[in-house]
Amino acid sequence: MAAQHAVEINTQQLESLCINTIRTLSMDAVQQANSGHPGTPMAMAPVVYTLWQNFLRFDPEDPIWPNRDRFVLSIGHASMLLYSILHLTGVKAVDPDYETLGELSVKLEDIKRFRQLDSKCPGHPEYRWTSGVETTTGPLGQGVATSVGMAISSRWLSSYFNRPGFEMFNFNVYALCGDGDMMEGISGEAASLAGHLRLSNLCWIYDNNHITIEGNTALAFDEDVATRFQGYGWNVTRVGDANDVELLTRALTSARSTNDRPTLIIVDSHIAYGAPNKQDTSAAHGEPLGEDEIRLAKRNYGWPENAKFYVPDGVREHFQHGIGRRGRKLRDEWMGTFERYKKQYPDLAAQMDQIQRRALPAGWDKNLPTFPADPKGVAGREASAKVQNVLAKNIPWLVGGAADLAPSTKTRLTFDGAGDFEPGSYEGRNLHFGIREHAMGAVLNGMSLSKVRPYGSGFLIFSDYSRPAIRLAAIMEIPVIYIFTHDSIGVGEDGPTHQPIEQLASLRAIPNLITLRPGDANEVVEAWKLIIQLRHAPAVLVLSRQNIPTLDRTKYASAAGVTKGAYVLADAKGGAPEIILMATGSEVPLAVDAYEKLSSEGIRARVVSMPSWEIFEKQPQEYRDSVLPPQVRKRISVEQASTFGWAQYVGSDGDKIGMKTFGASAPLKELQKKFGFTPDRLVACAHELLGK
């Protein structure tokens, strides 16, 4: 008994040593950077220790093992909490080709250079920059919402790949969040969806410390969070003291054994430093403690007061005997199961490999439609629906849905077996996000981070509601697909509130986001082919509600030019062009009509279809000059949207036909006349520029 008691005491001492190492590394890093948030890492260190050491199914030697549990630090400002645990558990670095490197993901030198240029410890965790960071979490609420997408993916992957005796996917998702996450509306959207879907593989741990930047949360936030989440259909449990490892263990065990709903663990914490009962809101949100306060805190921990970035003997070894040993065993068992799986289910195993590498299966582009010339044409959304259904049949992990608008965006997969992803029935390919555009964007990010290929759809005007998540997808370089229809004043009678004006320009302004606005049905096909091959960039496909004439490709250039971002659709007859007409989307046929009139008058005009500025800008200068010759300075752009940005292509000698106001409620033809989107207006503008 005496020996057993000694072991228990030693374990408790090691636990305390590890927890205080997380705390002191966080304090020292923030102090040295003279920037950051030490309070939450100090308060939540016992929580992260308990989760990682005793529960998380994660192999530090292989941080991209497909069936690992995911940990999301939604309170991204507490990044030192994550960097400390990544360092102490010995998580290895992974390069962009998914080859594990021998070095640590977070070295002690990186922690010493917290928030400094090129450190692996930036101010907020960044995916693809620091291995072990599962998602970029900057704006509050994004992390928890993204975690819902990860949990959805776990359920879908298990439904698709698991077979009797082969549980290839069953990973759990844990997210650490705070008061700020709870206040942001996106967390409510995401929690409501997770509760509806009964995602029992999802656990949020809520740091209930009552502190935000302005002070106590009572200034603006006093709702009963527990009751709110019970209303969402969650299992809710409470830990009254963040330092109570035993109670934390019990709560996490309860979460893992709950099989019919997600779990919220409310953890009450108090940000206390050197002086007893001292609480400092500034340290919780953006200021170092100061050397004197750090010494007091270290004294309370029994720490060498003047030692900085100190990792005591036994700490790293303790983690290796906990998460290190457990994670390696679980990963090795999974790899052994996968070897047997490959022999029994070779096709599924090949697909699993393709998913992890973001590769496409052989024959992904078979049976894609081509559209015959038709002056009546087809709506962009209708053409897209045909293409999307073919691609989804060819690519089994193309999964997605709409923010309650699938009948309008035409994004429902309709082939046999597509099915719906619903509570308790997770094999379906059609997701129903409800009227939750912001959460939908973040959920898509979580799905993409879990390597399925997700898409989400809505009206272009509501891209504003999704924008923060779209921006994060671009930062993370993940290939999420956004399908936005009702792309212009062509919405018609719904009026200015539903007619997008500035949205195209704002999306084009996001670095690493590919925006495509195809000009007819065959350009839609080519746009989808381009998008589906992207591996490191999200894409927005912008489609019309109304019919657009399908151009005669025997008369005009092939729609394959879409792959270049912009191309010469119709060229001048009898010599170099005098004027260039540039257009996107539904305005491309309009430019073609104007081109035919100008050509009949003997004016040498060129039509350039420009579905994607971003792709065009990546082309060699020689190609760009061949499409838009610098010497041809008379140019007109036409687009039923804000003219912002077109100046780079039109130049000082050209003109822009677009929207300078919001739209109006009226039938489409009346709107086109009112705002000047007619062939006659383009012809008149060309005459004016040419002085003819």
Q: Could you tell me the pLDDT band of residue 287, with boundaries at 50, 70 and 90?
A: confident
Using alpha carbons, list the distances in angstroms from residue 362 to 231, 359, 406, 424, 455.
46, 9, 29, 32, 21
Task: Annotate 575-594 with DSSP letters as a single string.
Answer: SS-SEEEEE-TTHHHHHHHH
The predicted pLDDT at position 120 comes to 96
Backbone angles phi, psi at 670, to 5 degrees: -70, -40
The predicted pLDDT at position 286 comes to 56
**Amino acid identity, residue 81?**
L
Tell me the pairing of strands 635-642 and 655-659: parallel
Instruction: Determine the average pLDDT of the residues in 514-540.
Output: 98
Rounded CA separation 466/456 (Å): 10
Convert 226-243 to b/e letters by CB count within 10 Å (16 or more is b): bebbeebbbbbbebeebb
Half-sphere exposure of 15 (CA within 13 A, CB side): 20
Q: Are 100 and 60 in contact (CB under 8 A)?
A: no
Tell me the pairing of strands 202-208 and 173-178: parallel
* Predicted confidence (pLDDT) per residue in 228-282, tens digit: 999 999 999 999 999 999 999 999 999 999 999 999 999 998 764 443 334 444 4
Question: Cα–chain-centroid distance for residue 285?
Answer: 25
* Predicted confidence (pLDDT) per residue in 74-103, tens digit: 999 999 999 999 999 999 998 877 777 789
Rounded CA separation 257/200 (Å): 9
Instruction: Determine the average pLDDT of the residues in 387-414.
Output: 97
Instruction: Determine the average pLDDT of the residues in 279-287.
Output: 48
Q: Are 586 and 538 in contact (CB under 8 A)?
A: no
Q: Are 147 and 446 in contact (CB under 8 A)?
A: yes
Q: Which helix (H) or strand (E) holds 474?
A: helix 463-476
Which residues, including other chains, have CB under 8 Å from residue 335's CB and lie 6 or more apart? none
Q: Could you tell me the pLDDT band of residue 650, with boundaries at 50, 70 and 90?
A: very high
Across-strand partners of 659? 642
The predicted pLDDT at position 220 comes to 87
The predicted pLDDT at position 3 comes to 42
Convert 329-350 to b/e letters by CB count within 10 Å (16 or more is b): ebbeebeeebeebeeebeebbe
The predicted pLDDT at position 217 comes to 80
Backbone angles phi, psi at 207, to 5 degrees: -80, 100
Rounded CA separation 556/168 (Å): 50
161: nearest Cα among 330, 346, 418: 346
Using alpha carbons, list the distances in angstroms from residue 427 to 105, 145, 159, 161, 419.
35, 21, 5, 10, 7
Query: Helices (DSSP H) in 34-97: which residue ranges?
Result: 39-54, 79-88
Q: Which helix (H) or strand (E) holds 657?
A: strand 655-659
Taking only Cα atoms into account, the Rg of the chain, rounded to an integer number of angstroms, comes to 28
Instruction: Determine the average pLDDT of the residues in 655-679.
Output: 95
> Hey, how many other C-beta atoms are within 10 angstroms of the C-beta on 534?
17
Q: Is the pLDDT of residue 288 over 80?
A: yes
The predicted pLDDT at position 218 comes to 82
Rounded CA separation 561/549 (Å): 18
Q: Which helix (H) or strand (E) holds 104?
A: strand 100-104
Backbone angles phi, psi at 103, to 5 degrees: -85, 165
Instruction: Determine the average pLDDT of the residues in 630-649.
Output: 97
Residue ranges of domains in the chain, CATH in brackets: 2-331 (3.40.50.970), 374-549 (3.40.50.970), 564-690 (3.40.50.920)
* Predicted confidence (pLDDT) per residue in 476-518, tens digit: 999 999 999 999 999 999 999 999 999 999 999 999 999 999 9
* Predicted confidence (pLDDT) per residue in 303-348, tens digit: 999 999 999 999 999 999 999 999 999 999 999 999 999 999 999 9
Q: Which of 35-39, 283-287, 449-453, 627-631 has the lowest mean pLDDT?
A: 283-287
Rounded CA separation 485/481 (Å): 13
Please identify every residue annotated as catalytic. 437
**Amino acid identity, residue 359?**
A
| Structure-token pair, residue 122 | 């930036």
457: nearest Cα among 379, 369, 385: 385
Rounded CA separation 206/178 (Å): 5
Rounded CA separation 270/209 (Å): 6
> Hey, how many other C-beta atoms are within 10 angstroms of the C-beta on 166?
16
Q: Is the pLDDT of residue 225 over 70?
A: yes
Rounded CA separation 551/542 (Å): 18
> Hey, how many other C-beta atoms are within 10 angstroms of the C-beta on 396?
17
Rounded CA separation 633/652 (Å): 8
* Predicted confidence (pLDDT) per residue in 94-149, tens digit: 887 777 778 999 999 999 999 999 999 999 999 999 999 999 998 999 999 999 99
Most confident of 5-9, 30-34, 275-279: 30-34
Rounded CA separation 280/213 (Å): 10
Q: Is the pLDDT of residue 460 over 60?
A: yes
Q: Which helix (H) or strand (E) holds 208?
A: strand 202-208
The predicted pLDDT at position 645 comes to 97
83: nearest Cα among 62, 55, 61, 113: 113
Q: Where are the beta strands (DSSP E) in 347-480?
A: 374-379, 398-402, 430-432, 453-459
Rounded CA separation 319/311 (Å): 12
Q: Could you tell me the pLDDT band of residue 11, with boundaries at 50, 70 and 90?
A: confident
- Cα dihedral sign, 183-116-83-216: negative
Which residues, including other chains, have CB under 8 Å from residue 471's CB and lie 6 or more apart? 510, 513
Question: Cα–chain-centroid distance for residue 439?
Answer: 10
| DSSP code, position 551 | P
User: For the chain, what is the mean pLDDT?
Assistant: 94
Q: Is the pLDDT of residue 352 over 70?
A: yes
Rounded CA separation 98/102 (Å): 13
Using alpha carbons, list the distances in angstroms from residue 385 to 411, 448, 498, 532.
6, 21, 22, 14
| Structure-token pair, residue 232 | 């969402």
Instruction: Determine the average pLDDT of the residues in 30-45.
Output: 92
| Structure-token pair, residue 92 | 């290895």
Tell me the pairing of strands 430-432 and 398-402: parallel
